[in-house]
Amino acid sequence: MIAAGYTKLFSSIIASTIWREPDHVRLVWITMLAICDRYGNVHASIPGLADLARVSIEHCQDALKCLMAPDEFSRTKDYEGRRIKETDGGWLILNRAKYRDMISKERTRERKRQWDRENRPNRYKQAQQQQNGDKKQQYAVDYTSVSVPSVKDYGDIELIDDPIVAAMAVTGEHDKSAWGAWVKKLNASAKRVGMECARAVMRECVRELFGEMKAGEVNKPGAVLNIKLDKSLG
């Protein structure tokens, strides 16, 4: 039986190694994400899964072999990059719990925003004005004494509204020389594309940096982030 409900598809999938695989591998993977239950169980036979994914049985077998194999370039190093394992009656998506927790945090955040919209209209209006993409808008915040939360996974980053604070949390750099440079880059970009777009681009750079740090690919996160921002924000 196909599980009822839906699975959120994170935009970061297009930057993952799975996106470099052949079409039939991607189709089978997204199909498994769509039909799994809340624990990550996919109950299906190979012919049944092949029919759902609209691929041949041979292609389905090849895709499953790929998804069960280690992936040295995967951003997630759990299970050596394997995405699924075979179980009695189907397969288990190995990192389903991790992404479910990220979604749970995101839903909590959205519920809070909804409550603000309904119960604090003035506050919500101000927040919308702050992020409305006005090209005249500029950051003028002193981050010297701001509270910087700890970051352990992508879900923690999603809970940080301010991309400057997210950058401080991920890089560990709290000096004015660091955040001051980020503010200047953000403001300069906002004049061209609007603050909302500039914030979104910076947040994506921070998420990308975090993934590289977890993979042990970064020695100087602040410097690497600056390079990313220069390329992305201009």
Burial class of residue 154 in the structure, from the number of CB atoms within 10 Å of its CB (0-12 exposed, 13-18 middle, 19+ buried)? buried
User: With 0-12 CB in 10 A as exposed, 13-18 as middle and 19+ as buried, what is 150?
Assistant: exposed
What the block records as the tokens of 129 is: 């004005």
CB 185 within 8 A of CB 134: no
pTM: 0.45
Q: What backbone torsions phi and psi does residue 90 show, to the nearest 5 degrees?
A: 160, -130
Cβ(99)–Cβ(10) under 8 Å?
A: yes
pLDDT tens by residue, 43-61: 999 999 999 999 999 999 9
Residue 21 pLDDT greater than 80, yes or no: yes
Rounded Cα gap, residues 60 and 77, in angstroms: 24
- Nearest alpha carbon to residue 63 among 22, 8, 112, 117: 22
DSSP SS3 for 119:
helix
More confident residue, 179 or 76: 179
What is the residue-averaged pLDDT of the chain?
81
11-94 folds as Arc Repressor Mutant, subunit A (1.10.10)
Please state, in angstroms and rounded to a whole number, the distance separating the CA atoms of residues 138 and 66. 47
Domain ranges of the chain: 11-94, 100-130, 131-233
pLDDT the model gives residue 9: 64
In the prediction, which pLDDT does 189 show?
A: 86
Confidence class for position 133, pLDDT limits 50, 70, 90: very low
Q: Locate tokens 């949390």: which residue?
A: 169
CA distance 94 to 156: 20
The torsion angles phi and psi of 8, rounded to 5 degrees, stand at: -70, 130
The C-alpha atoms of residue 181 and residue 86 are separated, in whole angstroms, by 49
The amino acid present at 49, given as its one-letter code, is L
